[in-house]
Chains A and B, each alone.
Chain A
Amino acid sequence: MTTQEAAGLGEPAAPEEPARRSELWHRLRRPVPLAALVVIVVSVIAAAAAPFVAGLSGNDPFTYHPEALSPTTAPAGILGGVSAEHWFGVEPGTGRDLFSLVVYGARTSLLIGLGSTVIATIIGVVLGIVAGARGGWAEKVVGFATDVTLGFPFLIFAIALSAIFPVDAPRELMLIGVLGLFGWPSIARVVAAETRVVARQPYVTASRVMGARFGHIFRHQVLPNVTPTIIIYSCISLPGRISAEATLSFLGVGVLPPTPSWGRSIGDAINWVTVDPMFLIFPAGALFIVTFAFNILGDAIRDALDPRKAGR
């Protein structure tokens, strides 16, 4: 890191803050990020008010509807049984309402995605700032912990873990924990790099001379300066965690039935893909659209908050 770069990066952020915010809004007001934002708001509403939204169609994701199935237990009617009663058709084999399954699936996805991102961010920020500001042995310990975490084959380990996780304990907690505990290194690395720059600034030295403790410097000087980075990295990493939950549920080692999950529905759809492709299309479409929207929004926020990376 050269001195010019250090000076450019470490400028106190406070005076630019209002400009930055309007810049963020300006960037997000373009049609594509705005559409992504709408998709995310809709999915958050669906997740938060799942019983109400699913109830709009007069269904819930747990009731079996054998009357909606043909004798082969495939959904009766076209497009996987799409009708006024079952908006997305029904699940083959059981006749559960697919619209309700998709709506409740948003709840599982977002809960696990957000929960694990919060955990990963907290661990990453604390370790990153400690490593970056303290340097020395703290940096070495965090570096080694990063290597160990990255040395774990994440998906394989998560699959393995599900074998010994108690059946009656909530799987959501396991997934949030695993995704959170394995997700911090990237945030920690970036935060450590930024902190190293901030910690070298004259105003930090000045407050240290005036007797400020580490906790004070952490909260009042380092944290405000690295906040944009934290926001960027949480937004960028969130879709990855949503899809990781879906992947594990797809492989049969995520959330257990009857909790609806997009990934598990997609996994169930393997056996029906030739008979009832719509059973694949609806949950997969929901998963894809939400992941896509978060990716677009993450990129837009990064471009707005981090001009160095804009347009790349």
Chain B
Amino acid sequence: MSGLLRAIRGLAVLFVVVALTYAIFYLGPADPALAMCGKPCSPENLEAAREFMGFSDPWWQQMLTFIGGIFTGRSFGSAGVVIDCAAPCLGYSFQMHQSVTSLIIERFPVSVSVALGAIVLQTIVGVGLGALAARKQGTVLDRAITGGAVFAASAPSYVVGLLLLLVFAFTWGIMPSGDYVAFTDNPIGWATHLVLPWITLAILNGAVYARLVRSSMIEQLGLDYARTSRAAGLGERRIDGYALRNLALPVMTLTALDVGALLGGTVITERVFGLPGMGLLLISATGTVDLPIIVGTTLFSAALIVIANLVADLLGPLLDRRLAAPRSALRTPRQKVKNS
């Protein structure tokens, strides 16, 4: 599949996700107009609130307006009072009196800070331990790493986070117990406030990476090129380098495919460490049934996942030239025979 086709498929997936999400939430039993209607809520007031919020149209029309708003912006309101929502408009929270886009922009740097640090740390830990275990295959060290990986993968990240908080912040007092410091304000404060969240996420994901890297590395070291390099007198270090280079693709693909899980992970760490990111925004919005925020953050996250998958698809051929070859060159005649 060419890059363009992949992009089109990604957009199609995103469109279906938007349609399903929109249908589920706005056809569901919760009525966002009720919250705004005031008490006592007369039918006329409710109808007026619906019209003000743009919920009086059929749902598919609302959805198209919503999608249009992402590209061109839109406005809410009726009878003189107009609220503008500039593009890209992901909806407007009538409870917070703020556009969902600006709410996400405010919170997103926190979530990105958590996620990026976790990715770096888990890649280092996972690749390092996985490669080490593969090199020492069958030894006590290997068994300790593989066993430790199952152990770490079984520990719920919020429990790990709470234990880290309990030990490092509350008992020893050497780490801050929460809060967020913007990178632009104080880079060192930013890092010290995020170390525990990063470790929390990296323990779980690093374990998953270590298992993948170990098995792929063992496979790589058994391939012909490794044997030939060894026979040609190349050092084991060199061979490790070749093998690790070939692991870049599966590790990167795993990272990209895991963006959804990573977003979930940031929600958990934000809750545990009280970091004001997108996850906490969503959780507080579920408490107040603020549907525009709920739908907006869900769709924003879905877009991130689809984009990450697309990037992985497009970067794959750059890391592994075999994927860049035209498909017909790879196909053997045998595979052309379709099962009848």
Residues of A near any B CB (own CB < 8 A): 1-3, 135, 144, 147-148, 150-157, 159-164, 166, 196, 199-200, 205, 239, 243, 246-247, 250-253, 263, 266-267, 269-270, 273-274, 277, 280, 284, 287-288, 291-292, 295-296, 299, 312
Stretch at the interface among B20-28, B52-60, B93-101: B20-28
Residue numbers in B under 8 Å from A312 (CB-CB):
214-215, 218
Residue numbers in A under 8 Å from B275 (CB-CB):
none
B196 to chain A, nearest CB (A): 14
What 6 pairs between A and B have smallest CB-CB spacing? A155-B264, A153-B301, A292-B154, A163-B286, A164-B28, A312-B215
Residue numbers in A under 8 Å from B153 (CB-CB):
295
A282 to chain B, nearest CB (A): 12
Given contacts A162-B286, A163-B30, 11 further A-B contacts (CB under 8 A): A2-B334, A156-B267, A156-B282, A160-B25, A163-B289, A163-B294, A164-B28, A247-B268, A250-B158, A292-B154, A312-B218
Given the interface pairs A164-B30, A270-B272, the reply to whether A159 lies near B267 with Cβ below 8 Å is: yes
Chain B interface size, under 10 / 10 to 19 / 20 to 34 / 35 or more: 35 or more
A100 to B159, CA, bound (A): 21
| Best-buried of A154, A164, A292, A312 by chain B (most CB within 10 Å) | A164
Q: Does B339 count as interface, using CB distance less than 8 angstroms? A: yes
- B162 to A159, Cβ gap below 8 A? no
A291 CB contact (under 8 Å) in B156, B214, B272, B291: B156
Given the interface pairs A266-B156, A291-B156, A292-B154, the reply to whether A160 lies near B286 with Cβ below 8 Å is: yes
Question: What would 9 A/B residue contacts be, using CB atoms closer than 8 Å?
Answer: A2-B332, A153-B264, A155-B261, A164-B28, A267-B158, A280-B159, A280-B163, A296-B150, A312-B215
Residue numbers in B under 8 Å from A277 (CB-CB):
166
Stretch at the interface among B9-17, B40-48, B77-85, B241-249: B9-17
Residue numbers in A under 8 Å from B268 (CB-CB):
155, 247, 250-251
- B166 to A273, Cβ gap below 8 A? yes
Residue numbers in B under 8 Å from A295 (CB-CB):
150, 153-154
Q: Does B29 count as interface, using CB distance less than 8 angstroms? A: yes
Give how many A-B residue pairs fall within 8 Å (CB-CB). Answer: 151
* Chain A residue at minimal CB-CB distance from B134: A312
Q: A-side binding surface: helix, strand, loop or mixed?
A: helix
A287 to B163, CA, bound (A): 15
Residue numbers in A under 8 Å from B13 (CB-CB):
144, 147-148, 151
A288 to B279, CA, bound (A): 24
A286 to B16, CA, bound (A): 39
- B286 to A196, Cβ gap below 8 A? no
A158 to chain B, nearest CB (A): 9
- A160 to B150, Cβ gap below 8 A? no
A151 to B303, CA, bound (A): 8
- A160 to B260, Cβ gap below 8 A? no
- B297 to A148, Cβ gap below 8 A? no
Interface residues of B in 300-340 (CB under 8 A from A): 301-302, 304-306, 309, 332, 334-335, 338-340
- A246 to B295, Cβ gap below 8 A? no
Q: Does B188 count as interface, using CB distance less than 8 angstroms? A: no
A250 to B162, CA, bound (A): 12
- A147 to B9, Cβ gap below 8 A? yes
Q: Does B76 count as interface, using CB distance less than 8 angstroms? A: no
Q: Does B170 count as interface, using CB distance less than 8 angstroms? A: yes
B53 to chain A, nearest CB (A): 16
Residue numbers in A under 8 Å from B165 (CB-CB):
273
A151 to B29, CA, bound (A): 24
Residue numbers in B under 8 Å from A299 (CB-CB):
150
- B162 to A266, Cβ gap below 8 A? yes
- A161 to B155, Cβ gap below 8 A? no
- B21 to A157, Cβ gap below 8 A? yes
Contact with A along B265-300 (1 / 0, CB 8 A): 001100110000001001101100101001101100
A3 to B333, CA, bound (A): 11
Q: Does B103 count as interface, using CB distance less than 8 angstroms? A: no
Given the interface pairs A152-B302, A157-B298, the reply to whether A253 lies near B286 with Cβ below 8 Å is: yes
A135 to B340, CA, bound (A): 9
Residue numbers in A under 8 Å from B14 (CB-CB):
151
Residue numbers in A under 8 Å from B156 (CB-CB):
243, 246-247, 250, 263, 266, 284, 287-288, 291
B305 CB contact (under 8 Å) in A135, A150, A270: A150
